[in-house]
Amino acid sequence: MSDVLILNGRLIDPANGVDAPRDLLVRDGRVAAVEAPGALSGVEAAEMIDATGMIVAPGLVDVHVHLREPGQTYKETIATGTAAAAAGGFTSVVAMPNTVPVNDTVAKLEWMLDAARGSVVKLFAMPAATVGSMGVELTDFDALRGAGAVGFTDDGKPVLEDHVMRAALVAAARAEVPVSQHAEDTRLTGGCSMNAGPVAFRLGLRGMPVEAEARIVERDIRLLREIECVEGLRPHLHVQHVSTARAMEAIRSAKREGLHVTCEVAPHHFCLTDEAIGDYDTHAKMNPPLRAEADRAAMVAALVDGTADCIATDHAPHAAYEKVQEFERAPNGITGLETALGLALRMLHRGQGMSLSRVISLMSTAPALIATLAGRGALGAGHFGDVVIFDSGAEWRFDAAASRSKSRNTPFDGAEMLGRVKATICDGRVVYRG
């Protein structure tokens, strides 16, 4: 590990209320000094980065990625997925458990987190909340937490039964980590492949109603209320990839009530509508699906007004041949680690006037807090040396063929981006150079 000295940048650190010219020294993997410009000019470092005209910020944190290893390494590996993360400015990612086999035991979790997997950035994981993600029997929350779990989820599937979700929330509260819920009432979505609405009608496809998402969110909020009243516990519910105005309004009301609810919005849900499907473009197929314009606008509004706590990519790579088939047969999901920052800056910073500090908070500070990643998401002295350096005014187009991911399934191939990553530093190591 070598010292890294970053000079002449505009440091934005929402956790510490800093938005000013600063020089930054990372030593032995930690932030050693944050000083006014010139104060560190006499310091010698093995690596010096001139950040003139650049933003220097805490490394980005993604609490929702699918890395496909073990079991589906033809789509992605931990090494390739985290290389894509580094290229996108991410220094920490949280892997979902829907691997083959499902990550639901200590042995499987430890295998995933082992350095032998070749992770380029810091890898965390949320193991399954239920055995095999079957929604019946809870996994061993205490043992998994002791092995490094930062939360629990059956992502890809909901925890559908009330009594099982209640037990999961209680167990997670005692372990002091969140339950991340894939909010989908699958009793309403069987055989559906996109959002219910005029586009689905035109294409002759069965559509998922907004109620399928909202009902699970509303049910989970009711369970939180009951647990606080009866058990005296304060569980943390994190709602994944919110896509509907109705679900977001339920979250907004729960926050006003004082319940511990957080949520994430994916870039595709604040950038695109179901119109992007066009004539059955499977690169625009995901779950939850792209929604109507009113729902997309509601996601933007929630990010602006603070109801939505963070941005998460739901990076979900698939092989090309899997997407090149009939729309209803193609798998759900798109890649997202290399496009998230560029889309957030274009749509929220330039499009909505959101401050750079707020964008960085949504993509670094807040997700680090949600997943209880101590020492991440901030650049105060003693914090981990996780840094992203980017040019916030750079305009460019995403080229999926040049992606560091194994897969290319994205609706954003050729899309305009704002803000280009110049360097990513994780635990004091430069892991990407633009």
Residue 154 backbone class (left: φ over 0; alpha: ψ -120 to 50; beta: rest):
alpha
Residue 202 and residue 51: Cα distance in Å, rounded? Answer: 50
Look at residues 361, 333, 421, 331 and name the one whose alpha carbon lies nearest to residue 88. Answer: 421
Check if the beta carbon of residue 73 is closer than 8 Å to that of residue 100.
Answer: no
- Residue 12: CA atoms inside 13 Å, Cβ hemisphere, count? 22
Residue 386 and residue 282: Cα distance in Å, rounded? Answer: 35
Backbone angles phi, psi at 97, to 5 degrees: -90, 0
Look at residues 396, 413, 379 and name the one whose alpha carbon lies nearest to residue 91. Answer: 379
- Residue 314: CA atoms inside 13 Å, Cβ hemisphere, count? 28
Of 220, 314, 386, 427, which residue is the catalytic one? 314
Residue 200 and residue 210: Cα distance in Å, rounded? Answer: 13
- Number of residues assigned to the chain: 434
Give the distance from CA 239 to its chain's centroid.
12
Residue with tokens 């993604």: 62
Can you read off the two tokens belonging to residue 137?
A: 């029997």
Residue 49 and residue 45: Cα distance in Å, rounded? Answer: 10
Can you read off the two tokens belonging to residue 115?
A: 């350095």
Tell me whether residue 314 is one of the annotated catalytic residues: yes
Check if the beta carbon of residue 251 is closer than 8 Å to that of residue 239.
Answer: yes
Parallel/antiparallel/unpaired status of strands 179-181 and 237-239:
parallel
Residue 428 backbone class (left: φ over 0; alpha: ψ -120 to 50; beta: rest):
left
CA separation, residue 357 to residues 10, 11, 229, 425 (Å): 11, 10, 37, 19
Residue 301 and residue 146: Cα distance in Å, rounded? Answer: 38
Eight-state DSSP code of residue 305: H
Residues acting as catalytic residues: 314
